[in-house]
Amino acid sequence: MGDHGFVYNGSTYTSLNVPGATAGTTDAYSINDSGQVAGIYKDANGTHGFVYNGGSYTTINDPNATNGTYLLGIGNNGEVVGYYRDGIGYGYHGFTEIGGVYTALEAPGAQTTYGTTITANGKIAGWYYDGTKDVGFVNSGGTYTSYVEPNATNGPASLNNVNATTVSGINSSGELAGYYYDAAGSHGFIYNGGYTTFDVAGAIAATTYITGLNQSSQLTGIYSDTAGHYIGFIATPAAVPLPGTAWLFGTVLVGVTGFSRRKLIA
């Protein structure tokens, strides 16, 4: 029981369980073009980030963390992004780690900041809490741009009544993807100069989460079916006559078995 990371290469599933981790506490969140995977695990000393590369695991702990380090994204050059917890203020701070150098991510006006993904050209996406709601952001060269999905409102009690927009995917073309909450639950969205809601056909109610976006505009994510199972998906844009876009669906590349519907904070 519990959480186990995995990688799927089109034909084979490989389980990811960090050596020394408490059983059922390995979560994989991101993969780059070289097959490196970023995620988190827990042990007797708390929560740690990890990078998996060709069978080897490397632990990542932000030096300012006192209550856990969480890796949510990895770039093609091995740079990682996430957040750490400490006892200062609200206690959640974004960070990047590049070549052993840790850099803080603190969105202006934010009480908490979380980094989720990083592109080859150094743009970082994530979300922050401004005191009333969660706001998506992109950090480009130190300049923050905020994103709030127009349909976002307070979510249901199962999502802690949070008003949230999370940017969880960005590519070098400037396309964004993520998810937002409304009274019904969670919906995916795509942003490319304007917002488009994305709900998986067959998902019960509002249970779509987009968790990643690549250079080919493919989406990865999770939804819940009528049996209450959480299912990973890949959505590939297909050329169709304007004005619509069709999507072809497959199976998720990297993820967590045992996902529960929650924000990635603990």
**Nearest alpha carbon to residue 105 among 53, 70, 142, 60:** 142
58 backbone dihedrals φ, ψ, rounded to 5°: -120, 125
The answer to whether 157 touches 140, Cβ cutoff 8 Å, is no
Compute the distance between CA of residue 187 and CA of residue 222 in angstroms, rounded to an integer: 10
Query: Looking at residue 252, what is its pLDDT?
Result: 43
Domains observed in the chain:
4-257 (2.120.10.30)
**Dihedral angle over CA of 219, 113, 131, 143, nearest 10:** -90
The answer to whether 30 touches 73, Cβ cutoff 8 Å, is yes
Under the banding of pLDDT at 50, 70 and 90, the label for residue 238 is low
Residue 142 in this model has a pLDDT that exceeds 60: yes
Q: Is the peptide bond before 241 cis (omega within 30 degrees of 0)?
A: no
Under the banding of pLDDT at 50, 70 and 90, the label for residue 259 is very low
158 backbone dihedrals φ, ψ, rounded to 5°: -65, -20
Calculate what percentage of the chain has a pLDDT beyond 70.
89
Tokens of 21: 């981790």
pTM for this structure?
0.89
Q: Could you tell me the sign of the dihedral formed by the alpha carbons of 140, 146, 152, 155, in that order?
A: positive
Residue 41 in this model has a pLDDT that exceeds 90: yes
Tokens of 63: 């030096």
Radius of gyration of the chain (CA): 17
Query: Looking at residue 165, what is its pLDDT?
Result: 98
**Dihedral angle over CA of 77, 78, 82, 87, nearest 10:** -120
Query: Looking at residue 20, what is its pLDDT?
Result: 97
Query: Looking at residue 262, what is its pLDDT?
Result: 40
The model's pLDDT over 180-235, given as tens digits with 9 standing for 90+, comes to 999 999 999 999 999 999 999 888 889 999 999 998 899 999 999 888 888 998 88
Q: How many CB atoms lie within 10 A of CB 193?
A: 6
Residue type at 132 in one-letter notation: T
The model's pLDDT over 82-122, given as tens digits with 9 standing for 90+, comes to 999 998 878 999 999 999 999 999 999 999 999 999 998 89
